[in-house]
Chain A
Amino acid sequence: MCGIIGYTGKRDAAPVLVEGLKKLEYRGYDSFGIATADGAISVVKKEGRISNHAGTAGNMKGRRGIGHTRWATHGVPNDQNAHPHTDCTNRIALVHNGIIENYAELKRELIQRGHLFRSETDTEAIVHLVEEEYAKKNHLQDAVRIAVSRLRGSYALLVLASDTEEIVAARNASPLVIGIGDAETFIASDITPMLEYTERVVFLEDGDIATVTRDHVSIYQNGKEVIRPVELIDWSVEDGKKGGFAHYMLKEIFEQPQVFYNTIRGINDAPPLPDCNRIRDPVTVVACGSSYHAGLIFKYLLEECCQIPARLDYASEFRHYPSPASGLVIGITQSGETADTLMALRLAKAHNCHTLAITNVLGSTVTRLADTTLYMRAGPEISVAATKSFIAQLAVLMHIVNRFCGNNHTETLLDAHKAIEEVLLMDLSESVGLCENAQSIFYVGRGPFYPVSLEGALKMKEISYIHAEGYPAGELKHGPFALLSEKTPVIAICMPGETYDVMISNIKEMKARGSPVIAIGRAGDTDLPEICDLFIPLPGATHLTQILTATVVLQMIAYHTAEKMGRDIDRPRNLAKSVTVE
């Protein structure tokens, strides 16, 4: 889970790489480095974020180079372990995203042959392998091909040599995209760094080895040249900028009405779903993190509205259960690169299930893996905490529910953005005041509002670092009650319906233990304001709309709490945007 970038072309490479790495920071940010070639190779690498050290690459020369922003897997984040890594002769520099499983064995072997290792990373083994082959053949692409044939694991790597114009890239189970500009070529983990220079991109596939120069790209698979299509990207540069908002997260929260509407409108052009009459086999959903919560909401809705049994698994646990023998398996991943979800879908495909991917990234690995892909139209999401991508996932999932139950909810879905917009205008400062001094916060709800609570709690802990837990309201009595006190606010989602009465009694029980209760209910509710400390009235009369608005309210409470506490909201400690390792 790192970000890599390469550049060769008419400009000085270092500034292009620095700006590009800043855009890739969401993939990891504990250290970074840049290598440029101008006759000889020069390397700058540092612990910490590139945003804090932007000046360090100021006087690097050369019009081709590679860069890396790291999220440590092997070896602590420090200057030595930062990429790029160079070989013993300083002729070759290499950056790598992924994990090499057999690196220990390779390293032993290479040390025996006299190579000097300077870091604790798995990556350094690759650069020495390339060094040996390059010395024999003096052909960089062949050297890389032979070197990677020795590797087991996942990698996207870029290799730069002092004495050839080419940059060689190889991909296996980690993403790589080539951007074709005017007398310049980019290659990176995703398209964000190249958006401002070009809209023409080529997505590499597993096993590809590519050689790029400023005006030529050639791609090889198993030693044979292959043609990959050039695709046009319609994300504008502005999409990737913060543009006046204090944080990307706030920007993305405010984009949600539009994102929801666009996703619902846009999905009509999507490929048809597998015939819903045939789907009396169970539906299985695999996902991680926020996507798992979206999946859980989907499970409730599918069973409640369509009476179709649904199973939900954490993608990382999927393979430890017996796999379903038939039916539909839905994988949800914002980035399209989440390693666990990809693995689960591969397994499902091997078991002959129909696989459906829900993702935000065009051309990502999952789109090539799944039988059908539905896109969420969220645009690039930079903030590590998922907000608009979650809403877009819900849009896609609610669309599926709507299809399977005979299009009863089309109008509700087309109108839902209005309610989301109204929620954005709310003043939640009192609730934030209650949360910011809390030690722990409990989020409770019933039915589909239980996963909404889970997601609310996840947002809170991700960005404010306050311990927060989501529970089904009935479960609180089975243990967590012991933790309730005046210092542990409870946020309860209590909507009219079957669960209303029992939620009211649950809230009274919590009040009796002294916890301050923030209730989220329907506008016009007269009971809730009386028994709770704070009442947040939600617009939206239908179940589906209430799920969306409650989600957005909880996002805003988390955001404003973290903002008051002065947290680094867009890049919370220890987290990275997409988890591309298992």
Chain B
Amino acid sequence: MMQAVILAAGEGRRVRPLTKNRPKAMIPVANRPIIEYVIDALVKNGIRDIIVVVGYRKELVTRYLNNLEIPVEVVVQNKQLGTGHALLAAEPKIRDNFIVLPGDNYIDPASIARIRDHSNAMLVKEHPSPSNFGVVILNNGHVTQIIEKPAHAPSFLVSTGIYSLTKDFFPHIRENNLTDAVSSLIASGVKIQGIPADDWQDAIYPWDLLKMNRRFLQNIPPTCDGTISRYASIHGAVQIGKGTTIGPNTVINGPVVIGNDCRIGPNCCIQPNTSIGSRVVVEPFTVIGEAIVMDDTTIGSHSRVIDTILGERCKLADHLSISTVTGLHDIEGSPTRSEFGAVLGDSVTSGPFSILKNTLVGNNVTIEGNCSLSSRQVQDNSLVI
């Protein structure tokens, strides 16, 4: 029986502020945490013996996994030292062949099917910015070298971090990094096949999640369990959860997914590629599009929320205006070009008539009314006046 180990212990620092209160694997995209897509892909391949390594904010991850229909086993990595170290936490549970995969990257079921029946193989994929990953050199379909985050990448082929391995791999984990251990396995003479993946997605920066969101919303089946005013108009693939009410004269253009117990409208407009969590309130005359809105957030009336990620429990007053511009952000010490509206952490409150452009706002931030922020980063717990 094939086993799978999902690594969900790391924070994902480059995705801050969204990872203050949850690891990257738990960020909801199209209303489901990324890790759930990974579990789905495994189950579709008949792999049900799943072990998840948790660490950072482990209580929240565990609580979530407990509520899944598919039972998974949880093991704890006490200190987040690296992916190899995380895999060691699962070692006692491993019998023979297993797949190891990151909990915060999307992978499609067909790619897993390709690697499932090999022992000692890895999924590889071309990526336009290979320097963020381990770059892979192949020879006759076998991996000869993995270069971790090189400044000048010799190829566009990168490691997806998804491997099919056997129990014999564990002695090679001497450093904390998984890639080093794979290199050591190659050096010992074991041949590792490099198999191309079809659809693999990693959100390196917070705004990448919007692209992922767009991708996951592509194939959603329309469903409706809520209460919809007969004066609302709904087009395209739209999912509306239990207990949600859509007020009169609200227009929703799919693909859009809305969770349970929300109150939207009247007179709102939800544009394509929008995911709205549960218990969200959208007040009248507000426009939302290309956005992820997490649970329990309230958006005031006459607002415009475009190209934006809003964390949980935000309370945003009326006439908030967010628009997309390009700008530079310092992420973990390196300047990074970006184009998005705003990314807000959890529990952000803003006063009326706030304007945000290309701005990262931390958790528990209070923005007073009439503030305008452009290409800025606001630290956690700040007060903006």
Q: Which residues of A contact B (CB under 8 A)?
A: 238, 241, 243-245, 250-251, 254-255, 265, 415, 417-418, 421-422, 424-425, 539
Is A254 within 8 A of B313, CB to CB? no
Closest to A425 in B: B21
Q: Mark B258-276, 1 if CB is under 8 A from A, else 0.
A: 0001000000000000000
**A244-B54, A418-B313, A422-B347 are known contacts. Are A254 and B65 too (CB-CB below 8 A)?**
no
Q: Which residues of B contact A (CB under 8 A)?
A: 21, 54, 57-60, 62-63, 65-67, 71, 73-76, 261, 296, 312-313, 346-347
User: CB within 8 A of A245: which of B57, B62, B261, B313?
Assistant: B62
**A418-B313, A421-B313 are known contacts. Are A250 and B66 too (CB-CB below 8 A)?**
no
Q: How far is the CA of A33 from the CA of B202 in the complex (A)?
A: 54
Q: List 27 A–B pairs whose Cβ atoms lie within 8 Å, in order of A's numbering.
A: A238-B66, A238-B71, A243-B66, A243-B74, A244-B54, A244-B58, A244-B62, A244-B76, A250-B59, A251-B62, A251-B63, A254-B59, A254-B60, A254-B62, A254-B63, A255-B63, A415-B296, A418-B296, A418-B313, A421-B296, A421-B312, A421-B313, A422-B313, A424-B59, A424-B60, A425-B21, A425-B57
Closest to A246 in B: B76
Q: How far is the CA of A190 from the CA of B75 in the complex (A)?
A: 30
Is A244 within 8 A of B21, CB to CB? no
Q: How far is the CA of A251 from the CA of B60 in the complex (A)?
A: 10
Q: How far is the CA of A238 from the CA of B296 in the complex (A)?
A: 26
CB-CB under 8 A from A238, the residues of chain B are 66-67, 71
Mostly, the B contact residues are: mixed
Mostly, the A contact residues are: helix
CB-CB under 8 A from B346, the residues of chain A are 422
**Besides the known contacts A244-B62, A245-B62, 17 further A-B residue pairs in the complex with CB atoms under 8 A apart:** A241-B66, A243-B65, A243-B74, A244-B58, A244-B66, A244-B75, A244-B76, A245-B59, A251-B62, A254-B59, A254-B62, A254-B63, A255-B63, A418-B296, A422-B313, A422-B346, A539-B347
Q: How far is the CA of A358 from the CA of B87 in the complex (A)?
A: 46
CB-CB under 8 A from B312, the residues of chain A are 418, 421
CB-CB under 8 A from A243, the residues of chain B are 62, 65-66, 74
Q: How far is the CA of A539 from the CA of B312 in the complex (A)?
A: 14
Closest to B297 in A: A418
Q: How far is the CA of A464 from the CA of B239 in the complex (A)?
A: 48
Q: How far is the CA of A417 from the CA of B313 in the complex (A)?
A: 10
Q: How far is the CA of A255 from the CA of B313 in the complex (A)?
A: 17
Q: How far is the CA of A425 from the CA of B312 in the complex (A)?
A: 13
CB-CB under 8 A from A250, the residues of chain B are 59
CB-CB under 8 A from A422, the residues of chain B are 313, 346-347
Q: Which of A243, A424, A539 has the most CB of B within 10 A?
A: A243
Q: How far is the CA of A425 from the CA of B311 in the complex (A)?
A: 14
Q: How far is the CA of A417 from the CA of B60 in the complex (A)?
A: 15
A-B residue pairs, 8 tightest by C-beta: A244-B74, A244-B62, A243-B66, A418-B313, A254-B63, A418-B296, A254-B59, A425-B21
User: CB within 8 A of A251: which of B66, B313, B347?
Assistant: B66
